[in-house]
C-alpha cells in the first residue's frame, strides 16, 4: 500500500512538472508579431520559429549598411523573434540603398524565408563552405523595422 502511494505521488509530480513546462514554453513563445492578423507594415508573415530541425538552427549575420544607428540591432531582434539564430551583428563601411539577403550555405529556401521575414526581395547566392554562417543580411536605407514592439 505504501509503494502504491509513493507511485501515485511521483506520477502526480511528473504530470504537474510537465504542465508547468508547457505553460512556461507558452509564456516564452506566445503568438509572434508575425502571426496572422498582427503583421506590421512592410514585414511579411512567415512561419515561426524558423528551424530546419529541432537541433539545427539557421545561423545569420546581420550587417548595417546605413548611417542609421541601431538598425542591425532592430533587425536582429526581429529575426530572433522569428526563431533564427543571429550569431553576429556589425556595420559595414559602405552605405547601401537596398537590403540584400545572401545565401552562404547553398540553401536558397532558407534565404527566401529570411527575405520574406525582412520584407525584401533581393537575394543572392554566394556559397562559402569555410564560413560558419548560413545567411547574411546586409541592411539598406530602404529597410525599416516593423512599427510594432518586440518582445524582450
Fold of 51-139: Alpha-Beta Plaits (3.30.70)
Lowest mean pLDDT among 19-23, 132-136, 139-143: 19-23
Residue 127 confidence class, pLDDT cut points 50, 70, 90: confident
Residue 13 confidence class, pLDDT cut points 50, 70, 90: confident
User: pLDDT at residue 131 above 50?
Assistant: yes
For range 44-52, the mean pLDDT? 47
Instruction: Give the angle subtended at the CA of 73 by the CAs of 62 and 69, to the nearest 5°.
Output: 105
Instruction: Specify which of 7-11, 19-23, 91-95 reaches the highest per-range mean pLDDT.
Output: 91-95
Q: Which three cell numbers stand for residue 70?
A: 541601431
Residue 5 CA: distances (Å) to CA of 2, 12, 19: 5, 11, 21
> Which position has the higher pLDDT, 20 or 36?
20
pLDDT at 35: 42
| E strand residue ranges, the chain | 51-53, 56-57, 59-64, 85-91, 100-103, 123-125, 135-139
The SS3 of residue 87 is strand
- For the segment 56-70, what is each residue's pLDDT rounded down to a tens digit? 788 999 999 999 999
Domain residue extents for the chain: 51-139
- For the segment 83-107, what is each residue's pLDDT rounded down to a tens digit? 999 999 999 988 999 999 999 999 9
Is the pTM here over 0.75, yes or no? Answer: no
Amino acid at each position: 500500500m505504501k509503494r502504491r502511494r509513493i507511485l501515485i505521488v511521483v506520477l502526480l509530480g511528473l504530470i504537474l512538472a510537465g504542465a508547468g513546462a508547457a505553460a512556461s514554453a507558452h509564456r516564452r513563445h506566445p503568438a509572434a508579431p508575425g502571426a496572422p492578423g498582427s503583421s506590421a507594415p512592410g514585414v511579411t508573415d512567415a512561419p515561426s520559429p524558423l528551424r530546419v530541425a529541432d537541433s539545427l538552427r539557421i545561423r545569420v549575420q546581420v550587417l548595417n549598411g546605413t548611417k542609421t544607428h541601431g538598425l542591425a540591432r532592430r533587425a536582429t531582434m526581429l529575426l530572433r523573434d522569428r526563431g533564427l539564430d543571429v550569431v553576429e551583428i556589425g556595420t559595414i563601411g559602405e552605405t547601401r540603398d537596398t537590403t540584400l539577403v545572401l545565401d552562404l550555405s547553398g540553401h536558397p529556401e532558407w534565404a527566401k524565408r529570411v527575405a520574406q521575414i525582412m520584407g525584401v526581395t533581393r537575394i543572392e547566392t554566394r556559397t562559402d563552405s569555410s564560413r560558419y554562417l548560413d545567411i547574411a543580411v546586409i541592411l539598406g536605407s530602404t529597410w525599416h523595422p516593423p512599427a510594432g514592439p518586440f518582445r524582450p
